[in-house]
Structure 1
Amino acid sequence: MNDRKRISYNEVRRVTNLIELSNVSLKRNGNWILKEISWNIQKDQHWVLYGLNGAGKTALLDMLCAYYFPTEGYVSVLGKVFGRDYLAEKLRQKIGLVSSRLQQKLYPSDTAYQIVLSGAFASIGLYESPTDEMRQKAIGLLEELQCLSYADRIYETLSQGERQRILIARALMADPELLILDEPTTGLDFLAREQLLQALETIHLRTNAPTFLYVTHHVEEILPIFSHTLLLKKGQVFDSGLTSEMITTEKLSQLFECDVNVTWKNERASIRKRLVNR
Structure 2
Amino acid sequence: MDGIITLENVCWRRSGEEILKDINWTVNTGEHWAILGLNGSGKTSLLNIVTGYNYPTSGRVKVLDAEFGKSSLPDMRKKIGYVSSSLGRFSQTMNRETAENIIVSGKYASFGLYQEITDADYEKADDILNELRLSYLKGKTYNLMSQGEQRRILIGRALMAGPELLILDEPCSGLDVLAREDVLDMSEEVAGRSSHLLYVTHHIEEITNAITHVLLVRDGKIVAEGPKNEVLTDELLSDTYKIPVKVHWEGGRPWMSIIK
* CA deviation vs aligned residue, 1:175-222 (integer Å, no higher than 9, x gap): 10000000000111111111111112222333xx20000001100000
Give the SS at the match of 1:17: coil
2:235 is matched with 250
Q: Does 1:56 align with 2:42?
A: yes
* CA deviation vs aligned residue, 1:107-165 (integer Å, no higher than 9, x gap): 13322221100011122221112222211110111122222222222212321100111
Is 94-103 or 223-232 further displaced after alignment?
94-103
1:127 is matched with 114
Q: Does 1:42 align with 2:11?
A: no
Q: Does 1:21 align with 2:7?
A: yes
Unaligned ranges ≥5, structure 2: none
2:169 is matched with 182
Matched-pair identity in %: 44
1:7 is matched with none
* Displacement of 1:85: 1.0
User: CA, structure 1 residues 29+157, in 2 after alignment: closer, same or farther (shift >3 Å)?
Assistant: farther
Amino acid at match of 1:66: G
2:126 is matched with 139
Query: CA contact under 8 A between 2:124 and 2:160: conserved in structure 1?
Result: yes
Of 191, 196, 209, 1:211 maps to 196
1:11 is matched with none
Of 79, 87, 99, 1:94 maps to 79
Query: CA contact under 8 A between 2:37 and 2:241: conserved in structure 1?
Result: no
* CA deviation vs aligned residue, 1:45-100 (integer Å, no higher than 9, x gap): 00011111111111111111111111111011101111111112x21110010112
Give the SS at the match of 1:16: coil
Give the SS at the match of 1:70: coil
RMSD: 1.3
Q: Does 1:272 align with 2:252?
A: no
In 1: Cα distance, 2:224 partner to 2:143 partner: 40
Is 60-69 or 253-262 further displaced after alignment?
253-262
Give the SS at the match of 1:254: helix
Give the SS at the match of 1:169: helix
In 2: Cα distance, 1:234 partner to 1:100 partner: 23
In 2: Cα distance, 1:62 partner to 1:264 partner: 31
Amino acid at match of 1:69: Y
TM-score (norm 2): 0.95
In 2: Cα distance, 1:105 partner to 1:33 partner: 28
TM-score (norm 1): 0.89
Structure exhibiting the larger radius of gyration computed from Cα positions: 1
**Count of aligned pairs:** 258
Amino acid at match of 1:211: H
* CA deviation vs aligned residue, 1:243-274 (integer Å, no higher than 9, x gap): 00111112212223322110001211110111
In 1: Cα distance, 2:112 partner to 2:58 partner: 35
Amino acid at match of 2:192: L
